[in-house]
Each structure stands twice: as C-alpha cells, then as structure tokens.
Amino acid sequence: MYKCGAYPVIEKTAISAGIYSYEILCPDMAELAKPGQFVHIKIDGFTLRRPVSICEIDHKNGALRIVFEIRGQGTAKLTALNVGDNIDMIAPLGKGFTLPSEIHPNKRVVLVGGGIGVPPLLAIAKVMKESSTAILGFRSYDRIILAGDFKRADSHVITCTDDGSVGFRGAVTTPLAQELAKGDVVQVYACGPEPMLKAVIEECRRNSVACEVSLEERMGCGVGACVVCACKTESGVRRVCKDGPVFDGNEVIL
C-alpha cells in the first residue's frame, strides 16, 4: 500500500557538498513506511520522477527524512524547494529490509554503506540501536555524511575513507570481515556502489551470514507497472521498484 500527494517540507539542510536532507511532513506515508523503502518525487518540468531512499521514519511526528545527492538537472531543481514548499511524491514504495524479529545485543546486525548509499541504513540503525554496527565508506573526510546521526542512534560506527583522511583507510570489506569474524553477527544490510555490494555479498557468503542489499536503477513508474527497472535474480528478472529495491544477496545477480 502506498500514497500519492503533495506534502510540506518541514526541514531542509545541506549536509555536504551537493547533498541535501529534507524532512517531509506526511503522516499517512510515515505510518506505512519501513526501512529500505523509497519515495518517488515529481519535479516540476521533468517527465520522470526521481526515486530517493527513505533515510529516517519519524512515527511520532508523522515525518519522513530523505537525503539525496545532486546527480543532474532534476535533482538540482529539487534543491530549490524550501521549508513550507510542497513536495509531490509517491510513497512508501518497494520492499524494504527484513529486520530481525527480536533485538538482542548478542545478535548484532552490520550496516555497510558506501557514499550516497548510506542514508537508507540510518532507518535500520534507529531501530536496532546498539545492536547495530555501521561501517560507512566515503571517498575522503569531506564526503562523510550522517556518521553523527548513526552515533546518536547508538550504532557503533566505523568510518572508512578511500584516502585514509578519516578512520580506516580502504574498502569497507576489511572492517566487515573483522566484524563477521566475531561470530555474533546475524545479518548484514548493504547499500552503495555495485562493486562494493558484490564484495559485501562475497564476504557474507564466506562467513555464512545473511545479507540484504539495496539496489539502484533508473525507474519509470516506481510502482511496478512499467517494468523499466529490471534486475537479474536466481529466480528470473525482477522489478527493482516493486520486488526490491532490497534483495537477498544470495538471490540477486549483479
């Protein structure tokens, strides 16, 4: 079940160069939303909507937070919206992450995010709190986003940068391997560039730990009708917007 309509922006922040955070007051959407789902935004003057993952779900205030990067003319125009302006969106869409039925400090989950793939994982951290470890990878110190938000959610944060300017130097898979070696991780969730997802799936397979990945694809309708956004899985071609964007790491063929 999803809704479609225009809802007011209640908070706008530029959190890094070209990366924006919006909080949108949309109680009927927030009530339905789950971590890993996305909103599909109409931008004036553009035919196609832009899918943006849900970063935080505020059930108390009936709000959703989205964090997106300027990718082209459409997302650039989206940043023209200010607090009080309405944002036209369809949400919540897609199949989100499968969260563990019980939250236990000895059954940890690991969140692996790369760059603009980090935002949807925050919604999981908000639920899993100290039972979660967030391994967040960025190009360099000035590209880091949301690390403070994960810490405030009581998630254990491991920051990685490609150039070593902050935290662990190198790929997220090295700290991931270290975390998995501890033996108490029951589930890994990942979102980021495809090579990172491949490496994470491989690492999880080696350690026999369940892994879910969130994919990105150019979309049309966003609700499953136009079958524009396809991905290959062990059980055939699936729609990223409706059957995903979250897929079982052992199912999806990247």
Partner 1 sequence: MTVAGVRFANPVIAASGTYGFGEDYNELYPINILGGISCKGLTLEPREGNTPPRIAETPAGMLNSVGLQNPGVDTFIEKHLPFMQKKGGVVIANFAGATIEDYVQTAEKLEQTDVSMLELNISCPNVKEGGAAWGVTAESAAKVTKAVRAVTKKPLMVKLTPNVSDITEIAKAVESEGADCVSLINTLLGMRIDIKTRRPILRNNVGGLSGAAVFPVAVRMVWQVANAVKIDVVGMGGIMNAEDAIEMMLAGAKAIQIGTVIISDPYAPLKIIGGIEHYMNVNDVKNLSEVIGKVEKWQ
Q: Which residues bind partner 1 (CB under 8 A)?
A: 1-4, 42, 46-49, 74, 90, 217-221, 223-231, 236-237, 242
**Which is nearer to partner 1, 10 or 223 (by Cβ)?**
223
From the CB of 222, what's the least distance to partner 1, in Å?
8
Angle at 25 between CA 127 and CA 120, to 5 degrees: 35
From the CB of 245, what's the least distance to partner 1, in Å?
13
**Which is nearer to partner 1, 170 or 220 (by Cβ)?**
220
Peptide bond between residue 105 and the one before it cis (omega within 30 degrees of 0): no
Q: Which of 116, 118, 112, 166 is nearest to 135 (CA)?
A: 112
List the beta strands (DSSP E) in the chain: 3-16, 19-25, 38-42, 50-58, 63-69, 86-93, 108-114, 132-138, 156-161, 168-169, 185-191, 210-214, 230-233, 236-239, 246-248, 252-253
**Which is nearer to partner 1, 12 or 242 (by Cβ)?**
242
**Which is nearer to partner 1, 203 or 216 (by Cβ)?**
216
User: For residue 94, what are the contacts with CB-CB under 8 A and spacing of at least 6?
Assistant: 36, 37, 38, 240, 241, 242, 244, 245, 246
**Which is nearer to partner 1, 55 or 219 (by Cβ)?**
219
From the CB of 49, what's the least distance to partner 1, in Å?
7
From the CB of 95, what's the least distance to partner 1, in Å?
13
**131 in helix, strand or coil?**
helix
From the CB of 238, what's the least distance to partner 1, in Å?
10
d(CA 141, CA 215): 25
From the CB of 172, what's the least distance to partner 1, in Å?
25
**Which is nearer to partner 1, 93 or 124 (by Cβ)?**
93
Contact assessment for residue 100 and residue 109, using Cβ atoms and an 8 Å cutoff: yes
